[in-house]
Chains A and B, each alone.
Chain A
């Protein structure tokens, strides 16, 4: 099917639709609105391509995927424990903002009548939260398992969407790309030592204050582990790029270059 919108126009359409659908004046007057993840938007745009769908139907599905991502990201910002009474209302609204995004993705997909994709999304959300709990509870045996959990947490949704729409190259690339991106972010914030334990930026990996050893050693050990994992993932990302280059769009190639040159 001939496509009328180029990649960037699709991005703009999705961006506008996301803002329009998720607009809630009271919520956004009181809490910071989650920003749209540009990398994930382009990955979803390239994952959701189906000759049987009209172009508008494709981009609406992309928006639904971003709403899921917004829901999951927003809930990362719920503080681990209650901090103070002044921030109580903010905490309450962050919980509800995540639920608000969840309700919107289901509403959007039900209007499109895509029950298959509803199933893909709901299974992906389950898998993602399972991984988050395991990370939160430090439930990995070795670095391989740690990497697997980070990939699951970061990329399950987009990988599953890619597989559902038979865009396996994008699914493969997305797994390595998003894992590597997250690892770099975790290492950067842990190294800066500005982020408190339990902060959204470091969650769920640094969620529990270590009690059995001193904090500094724990952070250093974790950073070293993450660096080993990151080096391995980078190798796989480079290989995936070579294997799948033909399927990647201009934007995805550009984002890949920016990431590996960081």
Chain B
């Protein structure tokens, strides 16, 4: 089953959010418009708007209010992707040329800044300063997470806490924020807002851990990019951290492979293999499961409305996804 099948009944409202995103850039310069619409049309899971809408079911559900939060969060995500492609020097995203590849780095910077400003403007639909504080916290933490990622690139002896702190900031807090902000926008109780935030955080952590696992276990076809990209870019993720921590020989092998020039494909494949055989994948999956278990427990504390079932199914999907 595809993720989108789990929230098929939200399709019309997600479409409204997508339309609003397209409208948001309709007056932009053609290059900005083209760059943004290309990203928009490339699709994606729209996981953040989905969480916003589902959280919105805990209050006085109103798509005309929720869409501003959904648009804002998805545009923030999109702006970060455009800038990430400059950071990673990426040529392709979801099979399409990136903005920086199609134009240049500077156009990508202007595009990302433009989209980010649109995202913030969309949030100004709300006068409630708590919404802006929550939104700005998400953005701020996300940037710190990105900086941390660069800081710890190719640092093979970093501890596991650094990894968790990084994925929390980079991924989990944006999902937590999506849930919290969706609930805030429709006047759900503070208790529900907090519980949804916790659920989002737990699911977000599990999501990123599985994403990191898939970079070792997925095929190029499934991932849309060659496996092992994280390791090659020096992003030290949980399976590799586990392997290096439990087997100093693996650590020495990795360090040797990255001395001087980057490893070639054959060397990379061999490194991926030893990490997979180290138990790092199983360990990471178990940790992801632990986060998901907490997410299910958090859902139990919420009013048992139909949205809980969807949130639970999404959590299950995240734990078992293959791409």
Contact = CB atoms under 8 A, between A and B. Distances in A.
B297 interface: no
Contacts of B106: 75-76, 78, 80, 136, 198, 203-204, 207
Interface in A83-115: 88-89, 91-93, 95-96, 98-100, 102-104, 106-107, 109-111, 113, 115
Nearest to A107: B136
Interface string A9-34: 00000000000000010110000000
Nearest to A207: B106
Contacts of B28: 126, 130
A81 interface: yes
Contacts of A238: none
A88 B136 contact: no
Q: How large is the interface on B (under 10, 10 to 19, 20 to 34, 35 or more residues)?
A: 35 or more
A137 B123 CA distance: 30
A118 B89 CA distance: 32
Interface in B117-140: 117-118, 120-121, 123-124, 126-127, 129, 132-133, 135-137, 139-140
Interface string B132-173: 110111011011101100110100000000000000000000
B107 to A, nearest CB: 6
Interface in B64-113: 80, 83, 86-87, 89, 104-107, 109-111, 113
B116 interface: yes
Nearest to A106: B136
B10 interface: no
A74 to B, nearest CB: 9
A107 B123 CA distance: 13
Nearest to B123: A118
A118 B113 contact: no
Q: How large is the interface on A (under 10, 10 to 19, 20 to 34, 35 or more residues)?
A: 35 or more
B139 A106 contact: yes
A115 B105 contact: no
B120 A111 contact: no
A132 B147 contact: no
Contact of B121 (A100, A122, A198): A122
16 contacts: A93-B150, A95-B86, A99-B116, A100-B143, A100-B147, A106-B135, A107-B139, A113-B132, A115-B124, A118-B120, A123-B117, A126-B121, A136-B106, A136-B110, A137-B29, A207-B104
Given A91-B87, A103-B139, A207-B106, 4 more contacts: A26-B151, A75-B113, A115-B127, A118-B124
